[in-house]
A = this chain, B = another copy of it.
Amino acid sequence: MNEKDYIFEYKIDVRDYEIDAEGIVNNANYLHYLEHTRHEFCRHVGFSFAQMREQGIDPVLSRLEIDYMTPLRSGDTMISCLNISRRGPRFVFNQDIYRESDHSPVVKAVVTVVSLKEGKLTRGEEIAEAFKEYLEQ
């Protein structure tokens, strides 16, 4: 977390039911952590997912890449960090999670989101407006 700056950081505790039979957080739960972080970021900038849906805007994932580095275990706390950039109609979230205790990298993910309106792809102008001071150039 030293080598890079993030526009948003969010602390999440591992819950024991997220641990699977291998004694580590199940791989799918990291997508929950990443989604929860994006949603908290949206709330933070004043445009929550609930508000988007009220306006008929449906942000959906189009692609996700994730590298699993250090597995989280019972009792761990993570710092979930993000940056955003825009590529045409796509919002690209660079999301890195670190273990709080020693700052080990846990996962590094690149998440691409597009915005639908009545099921059709849009340029996501309302979202871009809400994100404008945070978008990487």
Q: Name A's B-contacting residues (CB within 8 A).
A: 15-17, 19-24, 26-29, 31-32, 35-36, 39, 43, 48-50, 53, 58, 60-68, 71, 73-75
Residue from the list B15, B36, B64, B75 in contact with A65, Cβ < 8 A: B64
Residue from the list B16, B24, B43, B62 in contact with A49, Cβ < 8 A: B16
A17 touches B32 (CB 8 A): yes
Query: A61 — which chain B residues lie within 8 A by C-beta?
Result: 27, 68
- Known: A50-B74, A65-B65, A74-B49. Contact between A20 and B31, CB under 8 A? no
> For the complex formed by this chain, how many copies does it contain in all?
4
Q: Which residue of B has the minimal Cβ distance to A109?
A: B64
Query: A43 — which chain B residues lie within 8 A by C-beta?
Result: 75
A53 touches B17 (CB 8 A): no
B28 touches A17 (CB 8 A): yes
Can you sample 27 A-B contacts with CB below 8 Å? Answer: A15-B32, A15-B36, A16-B20, A16-B36, A16-B39, A17-B20, A17-B28, A17-B32, A19-B21, A20-B20, A20-B21, A21-B21, A21-B23, A21-B49, A21-B74, A22-B53, A24-B60, A27-B31, A27-B35, A27-B61, A28-B31, A31-B31, A49-B74, A60-B71, A63-B65, A63-B68, A65-B66
